[in-house]
Amino acid sequence: MTTAPPLADVRALPSVLGLREAGRLIGVGEATIYTMAANNDLPFPAFRVGRQWRVPTAGVLALLGIEA
């Protein structure tokens, strides 16, 4: 498991994250977050652009109960 960043860092995030960054925010490791994505089991919206995953930051913040 990874540690979540400070709230000040969270508020400075870009509007779209990579899957690793999103996993880090919710305290999930890289292998786990990619497995969740492959199984369509992410707790927030995500989409693919080519081979890369993109995650709207607002969805992750909503999951964490943080207003965007």
| Span 5-56, pLDDT tens digits | 677 777 789 999 999 999 999 999 999 999 999 999 999 999 999 999 999 9
pLDDT for position 9: 76
pLDDT for position 7: 72
Q: Where are the domains of the chain?
A: 7-64
Residue 2 has pLDDT above 70, yes or no: no
Per-residue pLDDT band for 58 (boundaries 50, 70, 90) equals very high
Would you say 64 and 54 are in contact if contact means Cβ atoms under 8 Å apart?
A: no
DSSP H or E segment with residue 53: strand 52-56
Residues 6+ apart with CB under 8 A from 25: 4, 5, 10, 17, 60, 64
